[in-house]
């Protein structure tokens, strides 16, 4: 039996196992249902809160999306407004540009019209000026042509009145005058004179020579001047005088040969400037009179550049002459000594031969011996008197070398 106390009245009563189980089941079922009801309420409340939270989150999300959409829409509206403003501005700019372009075109058209008018005026002025200039040039040309014709007639008449000798001398005098006008300024140390030496049978017209400060000649030129009258029946050519000019150059010891010529006056080869004809004769040139001073200057400047080498070559040549003098002195001594030795040997041979032949020739042999002794004495004296000073006579460079060796 189980005792159960009433919670209201406090009375204790007993129940059997079955009743107790029933009571316990009832109580348990009630508590279970109460608990289930409580939990159901809690669950409902929790679901309600979760639903409210989800609704709130959804509302916030929708609000955020709405705000974002509104912001995007606002940006789009602003962009649309800006584009519309730009479009309106572009339209305005286009209208202004069109108006400006039209105005510019009108201005250009107006300017072009004005320029065309000015050009027409200038063209007309130029035509007038050209006509005046052409007339002036024509008058000048006619004046120069008339002057040239007068000069030609003058020179023709001048040449007609000259003899052949006078024609040549006039060109020579022209070149001499040209040179003398520059002699003291450009060629103060130069020799330029007529070639009057006809010992070899011929001579040139002028010889130019110039030496350095030490007296070493560094340039020499043989000049030949050729001219002829216009009315001469047989016209000479420049080539006709090359051989004789080269001969004069070699005979007078000149390095260069130059033909100053007025022959073949219409030949463009000789009219273009300095003509080098060294393919026929070495170091030979043909020039017109106007190139007389320039070719001297060119050759002289080129020769001055090689003057130092010429001076060094002259020193070497002097040294070779000194050595030659030394060798000549040595050979002279050798020849004298050999001659005396030969004479002595001959005398000895004669003496021995005389002794072998006969005693009667002793006196003669004695004389021969004395003679040979004297020659030997002379040879010995020459050998004793032989000194470096005598051997280096007329050979200063060799003497300087011996003195240097002695001092060392």
Main-chain dihedrals φ then ψ at residue 12, nearest 5 degrees: -105, 130
How far is Cα 388 from Cα 326, in angstroms, rounded to an integer?
Answer: 10
pLDDT average, residue stretch 11-16:
66
- 349-404 per-position pLDDT tens digit: 676 666 666 666 566 666 766 666 666 677 666 666 656 666 666 767 766 776 77
The rounded Cα 367 to chain-centroid distance in angstroms is 88
pLDDT of residue 324: 67
Beta strands in 296-336 (DSSP E): none
DSSP-based three-state secondary structure for 262:
coil
Kindly give the pairing relationship between strand 217-226 and strand 256-261.
Answer: parallel
| pLDDT > 70? residue 225 | yes
Residue of 271, 272, 238 lying closest to 257 (CA atoms): 238
| pLDDT > 80? residue 268 | yes
In CATH terms, is domain 164-305 a member of 3.30.70?
no
pLDDT average, residue stretch 282-308:
89
How far is Cα 168 from Cα 140, in angstroms, rounded to an integer?
Answer: 34
CB of 206 within 8 A of CB of 187? no
DSSP labels for 359-397? GGGHHHHHHHHHHHHHHHHHHHHHHHH--HHHHTTT-HH
Residue of 309, 194, 302, 308 lying closest to 256 (CA atoms): 302
pLDDT band with cut points at 50, 70 and 90 for residue 252: very high
pLDDT band with cut points at 50, 70 and 90 for residue 82: confident
pLDDT band with cut points at 50, 70 and 90 for residue 56: confident
Reading the block at residue 244, the tokens are 């004789």
- Rounded to two decimals, what is the model's pTM? 0.40
- Residue 94's alpha-carbon distances to 86, 102, 356, in angstroms, are 12, 12, 152
Domain locations in the chain as residue ranges: 164-305, 314-407
pLDDT band with cut points at 50, 70 and 90 for residue 257: very high
pLDDT of residue 250: 93
| Distance, first Cα to last Cα, the chain | 163
DSSP-based three-state secondary structure for 11:
coil
How far is Cα 28 from Cα 13, in angstroms, rounded to an integer?
Answer: 20
């Amino acid at each position: 039996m189980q005792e159960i106390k009433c919670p209201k009245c406090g009375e204790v009563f007993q129940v059997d196992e079955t009743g107790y189980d029933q009571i316990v089941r009832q109580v348990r079922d009630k508590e279970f249902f109460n608990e289930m009801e409580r939990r159901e309420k809690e669950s409902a409340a929790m679901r309600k809160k979760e639903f409210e939270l989800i609704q709130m989150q959804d509302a916030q999300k929708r609000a955020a999306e709405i705000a974002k959409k509104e912001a995007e829409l606002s940006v789009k509206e602003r962009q649309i407004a800006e584009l519309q403003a730009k479009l309106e501005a572009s339209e305005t700019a286009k209208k202004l540009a069109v108006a400006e372009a039209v105005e510019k075109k009108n201005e250009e058209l107006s300017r072009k019209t004005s320029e065309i008018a000015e050009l027409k005026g200038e063209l007309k002025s130029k035509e007038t000026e050209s006509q005046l200039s052409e007339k002036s040039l024509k008058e000048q040309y006619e004046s120069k042509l008339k002057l040239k014709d007068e000069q030609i007639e003058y020179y023709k008449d001048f040449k007609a009145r000259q003899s052949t000798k006078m024609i040549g001398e006039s060109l020579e005098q022209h070149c001499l005058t040209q040179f003398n006008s520059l002699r003291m300024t450009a060629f103060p140390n130069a020799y330029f004179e007529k070639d009057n030496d006809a010992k070899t049978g011929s001579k040139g017209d002028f010889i130019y020579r110039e030496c350095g400060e030490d007296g070493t000649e560094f340039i020499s030129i043989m000049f030949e001047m050729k001219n002829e009258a216009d009315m001469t029946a047989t016209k000479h050519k420049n080539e006709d005088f090359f051989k004789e000019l080269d001969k004069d150059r070699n005979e007078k010891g000149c390095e260069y040969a130059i033909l100053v010529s007025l022959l073949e006056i219409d030949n463009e080869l000789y009219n273009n400037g300095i003509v080098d004809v060294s393919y026929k004769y070495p170091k030979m040139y043909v020039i017109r009179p106007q190139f007389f001073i320039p070719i001297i200057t060119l050759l002289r400047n080129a020769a001055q550049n090689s003057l130092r080498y010429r001076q060094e070559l002259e020193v070497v040549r002097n040294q070779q002459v000194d050595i030659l003098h030394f060798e000549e002195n040595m050979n002279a001594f050798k020849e004298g000594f050999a001659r005396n030795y030969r004479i002595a040997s001959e005398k000895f041979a004669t003496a021995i031969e005389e002794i072998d032949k006969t005693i009667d020739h002793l006196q003669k042999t004695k004389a021969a011996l004395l003679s040979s002794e004297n020659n030997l004495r002379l040879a010995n004296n020459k050998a004793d008197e032989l000194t470096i000073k005598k051997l280096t006579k007329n050979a200063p460079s060799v003497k300087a070398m011996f003195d240097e060796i002695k001092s060392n």
